[in-house]
Amino acid sequence: MASASVLSAWPPTLTDAQIHALTVQATTYALSNGLLYLPPAERQPPIPESAIHAPLALFPSPFPRSIFEHAKRIQRTYNVLYSRIAQHEQFLDRVMGTENGVGKVDDFIGQLWTGWKQLRDEGLVQPLHLGLFRSDYLLHAPSGESPSLKQVEFNTISSSFGALSERTAAMHRYLNASTQYYNASSHLKTDSFPENDTVAGLVEGLATAHKAYNNEKAYILFVVQPGERNIFDQRPLEYKLLEKYSIHVIRQTFDELALSATLDPETRVLRISCATDLHTDGSVEISTVYFRAGYAPVEYQTPAHYHTRFLLERSRAIKCPSIALQLAGGKKVQEVLTRSGVLEGFLSDETKWGKAAFRKEEVDELRESFMGMWGLDVGQDMITPDHDALESGEENFGVRKARELAPSLVLKPQREGGGNNVYKESIPAFLDTLPPKDRQAWIAMELIVPPSGASNYLIRAGGDNQRAVKAEVVSELGIFGWALFGDESTDMIEKEVGWLVRTKGKESNEGGVATGFSVLDSVLLVDG
């Protein structure tokens, strides 16, 4: 297979002087074009005064053209799938709730679900949900087989690196245009660098939600983390909203919102007070709440933080995501979808979905992207939680199978943001310490086996690491999409809108860029 031979021989050979020259070109391009992070600091100053380039791959990474197009195509089906999951309250109650679901043993999930349930009982006033999604994949090629596409996870909250991935793709196109990479490989040709317009696509989703809210003077609220280093991935969305759609953005943390956010008791209009003289009453109405924070327990240090999240959810503003859509992105949902008939029930049940049902081959495409998964709490039938085993402390089928297959597995909790998983040889010792009552919060997933032999030059800012370091690598592809849905009187709108590549050293299990494991990369399409 041509693509496999390219991977095993990547990157092309260059002299040290050529690598150094490309590194200077890459880092100065990054610094000139906003491919940046704020530098590490115990506390960021109120006014940023310096920046560093984001971690980068010097070469784009080869990826089979047909599989890349396949990943883009099935994003449309994934958009619909997760939109339907978010609207299926009974399913989410059963899988993520506090009675028999994950929320029973996971306090963070339980708090979110309990608050959502209370708000549902009160009556939610905004039927629309906005999702800015990212589906992440690795190539799977066990025992030298031809690569296939396998999903790592589906992100429904704070799906990041859209802007920086677009800039990374532009950087690689620039390096090729300016240096031709010293004619080191025939694969480095213009039509092998796909366009990446992720920012415009994500912003279109936000602008569509804003328009549906039907108040052109309203603002979009970005809920952000304090001391955010990844601000240069967020600001381009803000700039594009203003430049193309004349939509203003206000950025606030949960702590700031606890003091600034108010709801009209009758209309549930969300207003945010802000320190600006542009508004005579000192506050702005919010059309859409875009969460770039709120996905991790550490962000909810006090009950006041949950109170603020629920106040936003209670409002008339469109949430991106709603709590329902955030819960839909849970790892337990991903595992349940692999069970017989569950995926088909969401996509191909003509009784429920009518003309919107998907053809069998479209559903099969998604199922083929799944790896094997099961819950640590499951019994022999792999479907029903083995509550007797949980109560007695005995090891049930799910745990025993995880022990037996540990070298080929990863254990995942219901967490986002990287650094939360347990891999391979660490699994048995972890299971020794995992209380039986907590098993329900974890899933076991068969590890994806990437093609071997690919390398790249990785560049990180600071000290000796500033030079390009060659390493054997694994590259993860993410496909972005968005969907606006939920109002029975309005047709769902959804699109596939862009992509990213994150590349890490092969010895690293985790893949997060913000958490320091990966570098930003882009796709080089290869045939075969």
pLDDT value of residue 380: 40
| Residue 383 scores a pLDDT above 70 | no
Q: Check which CATH number belongs to the domain holding 418 and give it.
A: 3.30.1490.50
**Rounded average pLDDT over 375-384:** 60
Binding residues for ATP: 153, 331, 412-421, 423, 445-448, 476, 504, 510
186 lies in some domain:
yes
Domain that holds residue 509: 2-371+471-526
Residues with catalytic roles: 134, 153, 155, 160, 331, 412, 416-417, 502
Contacts of 292 (CB under 8 A, 6+ apart): 158, 160, 222, 223, 224, 225, 228, 234
Cα distance between residue 185 and residue 433, in whole Å? 51
**Rounded average pLDDT over 100-112:** 95
| Residue 281 scores a pLDDT above 60 | yes
Whether residue 85 is found in the same domain as residue 99 = yes
138-156 pLDDT, tens per residue?
999 998 789 999 999 999 9
Cα distance between residue 37 and residue 51, in whole Å? 6
Contacts of 103 (CB under 8 A, 6+ apart): 96, 97, 109, 110, 112, 113, 114
pLDDT value of residue 377: 85
Peptide bond into 321 cis (omega under 30): yes
| Residue 387 scores a pLDDT above 50 | no
Boundary-marking domain end, from 447, 479, 512: 447
**Structure-model confidence comparison of residues 414 and 22, the more confident one:** 22
Q: How far apart, in Å, are the Cα atoms of 380 and each of 375, 383, 385? A: 11, 8, 9
454 lies in some domain:
no
Binding residues for Mg(2+): 153, 155, 416
Whether residue 366 is found in the same domain as residue 396 = no
147 lies in some domain:
yes
Whether residue 366 is found in the same domain as residue 380 = no
What confidence category does residue 382 fall into, taking pLDDT thresholds of 50, 70 and 90?
A: very low
What are the start-end ranges of the H helices in 246-341? Answer: 254-260, 303-314, 323-328, 331-337
What confidence category does residue 353 fall into, taking pLDDT thresholds of 50, 70 and 90?
A: confident
pLDDT value of residue 515: 47
pLDDT value of residue 495: 98
| Residue 384 scores a pLDDT above 50 | no
Cα distance between residue 102 and residue 104, in whole Å? 5
Largest CA distance in the chain: 69
∠ CA 402-452-163, rounded to 5° = 90
- Specify the number of domains making up the chain: 2
**Structure-model confidence comparison of residues 514 and 173, the more confident one:** 173
| Residue 283 scores a pLDDT above 80 | yes
457 lies in some domain:
no
Which residues lie across from 444 on neighbouring strands? Answer: 374, 411
Rg (CA), the chain: 23
Whether residue 411 is found in the same domain as residue 281 = no
What confidence category does residue 279 fall into, taking pLDDT thresholds of 50, 70 and 90?
A: low
What confidence category does residue 395 fall into, taking pLDDT thresholds of 50, 70 and 90?
A: low
Please, are residues 377 and 414 in contact by the beta-carbon 8 Å criterion? no
Whether residue 252 is found in the same domain as residue 236 = yes
**Strand 318-320 and strand 283-291: pairing?**
parallel
**Rounded average pLDDT over 398-415:** 93
What confidence category does residue 248 fall into, taking pLDDT thresholds of 50, 70 and 90?
A: very high
Whether residue 142 is found in the same domain as residue 221 = yes
Please, are residues 416 and 158 in contact by the beta-carbon 8 Å criterion? yes
Whether residue 211 is found in the same domain as residue 283 = yes
What confidence category does residue 20 fall into, taking pLDDT thresholds of 50, 70 and 90?
A: very high
Whether residue 292 is found in the same domain as residue 413 = no
Whether residue 341 is found in the same domain as residue 441 = no
pLDDT value of residue 130: 98
464 lies in some domain:
no
**Rounded average pLDDT over 11-20:** 96
Query: Which of the listed ranges 242-246, 411-415, 429-433, 508-512 does the model predict with the highest average pLDDT?
Result: 242-246
| Residue 510 scores a pLDDT above 70 | no
pLDDT value of residue 276: 58
452 lies in some domain:
no
Whether residue 353 is found in the same domain as residue 381 = no
pLDDT value of residue 460: 92
pLDDT value of residue 394: 52
266 lies in some domain:
yes
What confidence category does residue 512 fall into, taking pLDDT thresholds of 50, 70 and 90?
A: low
The rounded mean pLDDT for the chain is 91
Whether residue 360 is found in the same domain as residue 382 = no
292-316 pLDDT, tens per residue?
999 999 999 999 999 999 999 999 9
Cα distance between residue 255 and residue 175, in whole Å? 43
What confidence category does residue 25 fall into, taking pLDDT thresholds of 50, 70 and 90?
A: very high
Whether residue 442 is found in the same domain as residue 313 = no
pTM for this predicted structure: 0.94
462 lies in some domain:
no
Phi, psi of 166 (to 5 degrees): -60, -40
Minimum mean pLDDT among 167-181, 202-216, 277-291: which range?
Answer: 277-291
